[in-house]
Amino acid sequence: MIIRKAKKSDFEEWFKLEKQFMVFQNKFLNKEMKYKLVKPEIKKYFMKLIYRKNNLFLVLEDKSKLYGYFEGVIEGGESKAYVSKVKKIGYANNCFISKSQRGKSYFSKFIKEFYKYLKEHKIKYCVLHVNKNNPAVDAYRKWGFKVSEYKMLARVK
């Protein structure tokens, strides 16, 4: 298994993983929030990930087959309304590893690469959003992530 930067030719293999990710994610969502993929639109999204500035898009590959991916970005910038000492921050946007490859430290390898990327860009903090029922929460904690806020959802009455 190797971890490398994603490229345009990875789309079809990545799309297979993205479908698995959707099924996994939908387990944590209520009926109205579940989603499905629209291939032409998801392809546009994929291409944006490949070329987006300040983005690191990695894949886990073995013999031309993808088994996982990680996508992180540097976000932030100046705001005239809100002033913070932290101007830019790393955001671990998406990570998915196929079931057959979980528990083999691939998430750790992805996050090491992302932290290295963030350090090269002088970024000191990294955030992510995760469903509280996602088993990956334990892996995130091992890498120093802590709950800093709660996102709440309510049906409008």
Which range is least confidently modeled, 81-95, 112-126, 131-145?
A: 81-95
**Percent of the chain scored above 90 by pLDDT?**
50
Domain that holds residue 97: 2-142
User: Does a structural domain hold residue 152?
Assistant: no
Structural domain count of the chain: 1
User: Does a structural domain hold residue 117?
Assistant: yes
Q: What is the pLDDT of residue 48?
A: 92
Return mean pLDDT, the chain: 87
Side chain identity at residue 100, one-letter code: S
Please work out, in degrees rounded to the nearest 5, the angle formed at the alpha carbon of residue 121 by the alpha carbons of 46 and 17: 25
What is the pairing mode between strands 126-127 and 88-97? parallel
Model confidence pLDDT, tens digit, residues 55-71: 999 999 999 899 999 99
Is pLDDT of 81 > 60? no
User: Does a structural domain hold residue 78?
Assistant: yes
User: Does a structural domain hold residue 157?
Assistant: no
User: Model's pTM, two decimal places?
Assistant: 0.84
Determine contact, residues 46/11, Cβ cutoff 8 Å: yes
Cα separation, 77 vs 87, whole angstroms:
5
- The 10 Å Cβ neighbour count of residue 81 is 4
Residue whose pair of structure tokens reads 């709440």 in the numeric block: 152
User: Does a structural domain hold residue 12?
Assistant: yes
User: Does a structural domain hold residue 150?
Assistant: no
Residue whose pair of structure tokens reads 């300040």 in the numeric block: 54
User: Does a structural domain hold residue 148?
Assistant: no
User: Does a structural domain hold residue 104?
Assistant: yes
Determine contact, residues 75/89, Cβ cutoff 8 Å: yes
CATH number for the domain spanning 31: value is 3.40.630.30
Q: What is the mean pLDDT of residues 106-117?
A: 94
**Percent of the chain scored above 70 by pLDDT?**
94
